[in-house]
Amino acid sequence: MTHEIIISGFGGQGVLSMGKILAYSGLMEDKEVTWMPAYGPEQRGGTANVTVIVSDEPVSSPILSSYDTAIVLNQPSLEKFESKVKPGGTLIYDGYGINTPPTRKDIHVYRIDAMDKAAEMNMIKVFNMIILGGFLKVHPIVSIDGVLKALRKTLPERHHHLIPMNEEAIRLGMEIIKEM
């Protein structure tokens, strides 16, 4: 199994950290992982994206032409990456940031209204974990246990009390994602 993912949105949405948690979760489950940020003069409000590859075999190129899954959190990201989803692949978008929805018919399109839900439930801090939950519902390439282990490993001790809230967000994301 090799799953090649692009996660893209505005800087500040937690795109890079969501990718990092996913990569760490893969590590916790003894998979090969690569996390490759489109680093640059990015800042809050600018664009940010990260490629995450989780595989049972050594990862070759961290730079890809096409992806198994694209997770897009704003309109520019959708425009950039919709065409780069492999036929039969998955596109996940947050309805909040998207005015013109995706049009491709040869891929599986999912919508997750994570931003609205996060605002409603006062969970803005874990918005990205709602998205991650939605993705893991569609492609359970790592287990929730793996994610929780990764959080314990990556979060400083003083933030460990937030882990239950992250778990709640993941489960919420799994509930609210829907295929279009």
CA distance 89 to 145: 25
Q: Of these, 63, 105, 157, 158, which contacts other proteins (CB under 8 A)? A: 63
**Binders in 92-151 for other proteins, by CB under 8 A:** none
Contacts of 141 (CB under 8 A, 6+ apart): 1, 3, 26, 54
CA distance 86 to 95: 22
Considering the rule CB under 8 A, would residue 46 count as an interface residue with other proteins?
A: no
Considering the rule CB under 8 A, would residue 29 count as an interface residue with other proteins?
A: no
**Nearer Cβ to other proteins (66/75):** 66
Q: Of these, 62, 83, 104, 140, which contacts other proteins (CB under 8 A)? A: 62
User: Applying CB under 8 A, which residues contact other proteins?
Assistant: 20, 23-24, 27, 32-37, 39-41, 59-66
